Structure 1
């Protein structure tokens, strides 16, 4: 299948649009991605057109555990570009990606990196959850998708979108679709020429058609939206 050549590898550009930036090196997709692409395009041929227009799909990935969830907090309610800038400053603080160190950092230090006051509170709550054993990378990895979402969501500031982003990018779960994501709604409206951007509930219902490979549908829709808007793929999988 010709589309299988469209996944991003370290020697491929992540965006073929005229406005593209120099792409970072992205990791190889997992073997399951190839089968998922075949399944998805059979379910909905519209997804088969995205790679032809937007170029190879960069396989963005995040580190499991505390750093990946902290990064998801950083990304809440702001653009990818703003999140990448804040994350770069935060990870430059010695020990900030370790729960025991972050929880002791002064508020002013975290605020100087770009975290809002609520996100400082949420980052500390996340650190406390790892320190007291409420959360751990191993525990989350053993849970099924919905149980993991509920467990992560029990921590202050960690809603469903944050949990879904973590499962999708840090654990490579196959059937995750963050229906509350505005960019996904906008991308689908553009791809399908919908009269309006679907609301989260409607988007969630539409996405059921792409089970059991909704994670790839989400990745492709984000890729489509980056191409349409001329935004670069962000190098957000590198944490050190």
Structure 2
């Protein structure tokens, strides 16, 4: 049975494995890079939060989510389907995110996406079920698996911050694309999720030193 990233003790264990397996990870850890657990609740609310946060700043995502939660009570797929597009757009959602959330809610209500049971499925199978929903791409699926389900080997290779952090940490000439980063991440199995958290933490550290928002 997979050990989930639900406690700091498990996160520390995964980091120890990475440090032993990869000198670059060991160097980052020695320099003070500290990964954060940062769990979100699983289920529709957690996945909807990730969709809302796509391609917008943290502040914008928080504002949109606050407005959405005011009309999405309780936060479930059936409630969302009763809201009009105008209601959802007024909360700050783009037309694309409205379509994605509607598709997600429809699949859950129809029973084609067993969201409540994904935690008991292998990560690959859960990933495939999520990405079958129109508008749910690999990044969204991986972030949900990592932050909401706590899967230790989920790895969002398409995340730009993770890619840039890998470029800096490994001295690469160019920022690796998702395929290149996936190949690089093979050395981190079965703790790729912890490696992603390390790279995010490193990215925040670099941006903080540069005086830019992380």
- TM, length-normalised to structure 2: 0.87
Bigger fraction of residues in helix: 2
Q: Deviations over 1:211-239 (max 9, x none)?
A: 11100000110111112113778xxxxxx
Q: What residue is the counterpart of 2:188 in the other structure?
A: 210
Matched ranges for 1:16-55 at <5 A:
29-51=7-29, 53=31
Q: What residue is the counterpart of 2:3 in the other structure?
A: none
1:129 and 2:129 are equivalent in the alignment: no
Q: Deviations over 1:53-102 (max 9, x none)?
A: 55643321111110111112112233334323322322233416211111
**Greater mean deviation of Cα atoms: 44-53 or 121-130:** 44-53
Asked whether the 8 Å contact 1:51–1:57 carries over to 2, the reply is no
Query: CA–CA distance in 2 between the matches of 1:81 and 1:46?
Result: 32
Among 76, 89, 92, the alignment partner of 2:67 is: 89
Output the aligned Cα RMSD.
2.2
Shift in CA distance, 48/81, structure 1 to aligned 2, threshold 3 Å: farther
Among 151, 161, 165, the alignment partner of 2:129 is: 151
Q: What residue is the counterpart of 2:203 in the other structure?
A: 225
Instruction: Figure out how many residues of one structure are paired with residues of the other and give that number.
Output: 207
Q: What residue is the counterpart of 1:71 in the other structure?
A: 49
Asked whether the 8 Å contact 1:168–1:215 carries over to 2, the reply is yes
Query: CA–CA distance in 2 between the matches of 1:179 and 1:69?
Result: 18
Q: Deviations over 1:112-156 (max 9, x none)?
A: 222110110110111111211122333212211111111111111
- TM, length-normalised to structure 1: 0.78
Instruction: Name stretches of at least 5 consecutive residues in structure 1 with no aligned partner.
Output: 1-27, 234-240
Query: CA–CA distance in 1 between the matches of 2:138 and 2:119?
Result: 16
Instruction: Name stretches of at least 5 consecutive residues in structure 2 with no aligned partner.
Output: 1-5
